Amino acid sequence: MTSYRRATSAVLVLGFAQAACAAVTVDLAPLRPAVGRGDDVQVRVTLTNTSSVAQHVLRWRTPQGGVEAPLFEVRRDGAPVRYLGIQVKRAPPTAADYLRLAPNASVTQTVELSALYEMNVTGAYTVRYHSPAAPQGPAAMQAVAGELTSAPVSIWVEGRLPRGSKSAPAAATAASPGLAFSKCSNAQQEQLAAAVDAGRAMAADSHAYLATRQPYGARYLTWFGAQDGQRGAQDGQRSAQVGASFTAIKDAFETRPLRIDCGCNAPYYAYVYPAQPYTVYVCKAFWGAPLTGTDSRGGTLVHELSHFDVVAGTDDHVYGQSGAAELARTAPARAVDNADSYEYFGENTPPLQ
Ligand SMILES: [Zn+2]
């Protein structure tokens, strides 16, 4: 008797899993079949409950609320492409972790893929949705346990790197020997390469000013205060510090392996961990800033690189142009240790001699 019952229930469970597997389908559609250099790579993911009863899908098996698992299989010219997004260790799911799909209902989400997969190399990509089978859900609900897959779709991507390039975490370019990215889409990578060029130009210009001008003019006076020595590097303590700091900032731009992380959604411009060179985390205000000029993307990178202990070890005594100008007038010893003062000297907007 007992063994007969066990056998029956096993058959029922299997039958259930198969029915649930077919109940929710996944449809994948690229927004554009070909994307240009500097464009994001977007696909529309639609999950549809094709059954006549409500179905429940674990949220993290769907892109609803953000991709938190490798939900796609991406290939470039036939070879698998690395997933660069997050992998989460979770507690066993509860009922609250399930997304409810009414009979015949669909949910659609647009996903940007190039920040999640290494897609900055030019090539013919194929993308398939694939979430492997999951454990059975709580007994009270009809939970989808089978794998969720879509048919593959094709997307041609014109990337920053030429077709056939070896994909590498620190993909080098001619302009930036050590520039690498984390969680940055193709469009963001393109814009960041320009921002690094702008910051590097500001650092080189600042370095040239400090090394060649004598005496320093209004530009130095405005952002770092009265000059306390001739030609900085030789005598005055403060002007020597400014000269050494800009030499180090220029060196960091030109020779160090800079990594930029785009995962920050906070409202400010950017942040760094001063003891962890050379990773810069760019945030919301950064993307709203101009390339050059006051509080620009280029200047923000000058500001952030100045913070690293191995570069100039600056602090944030004050923020903003009027505060930085006030600091130069009243406390030049702190101005020469203030990150925004380096940024504004570098941006030099409006231009001063
Ligand atoms: Zn700062």
DSSP state of 275: T
Distance in Å, CA 84 to ligand 1 centroid: 27
pLDDT at residue number 334: 96
Q: What is residue 235's predicted lDDT score, i.e. its pLDDT?
A: 59
Which residues are CB-neighbours of 108 under 8 A, at least 6 positions away? 44, 45, 46, 47
Annotated catalytic residue within 73, 118, 147, 304: 304
Ligand 1 centroid vs 176 CA: distance in angstroms? 23
Cα 33 vs. chain centroid, distance in angstroms?
Answer: 24
Q: What is the pLDDT of residues 118-158, one digit of tens each?
A: 999 999 999 999 998 887 777 778 889 899 999 999 999 99
Binned at pLDDT 50, 70 and 90, residue 175 comes out as very low
pLDDT tens digits along 200-236 = 999 999 999 999 998 899 999 999 999 886 554 445 8
In this predicted model, which residue has the larger pLDDT, 87 or 265?
265
CA of 335 to the centre of ligand 1 (A): 13
Confidence at 7, pLDDT banded by 50, 70, 90: very low
Read off the tokens for 8: 């029956």
Q: In the annotation, is 304 catalytic?
A: yes
Structure confidence at residue 2 as a pLDDT band (50, 70, 90): very low
Query: Are 334 and 328 contacting, i.e. CB atoms less than 8 angstroms apart?
Result: no
Residues above pLDDT 90, as percent of the chain: 78
Q: Using an 8 Å Cβ cutoff, are 262 and 184 in contact?
A: yes
Per-residue model confidence (pLDDT) at position 192? 97
CA 87 to ligand 1 centroid distance, Å = 30
CA–centroid distance, 270 to ligand 1, in Å, is: 8
- Around ion ligand 1, residues with a beta carbon closer than 5 Å are 316, 339
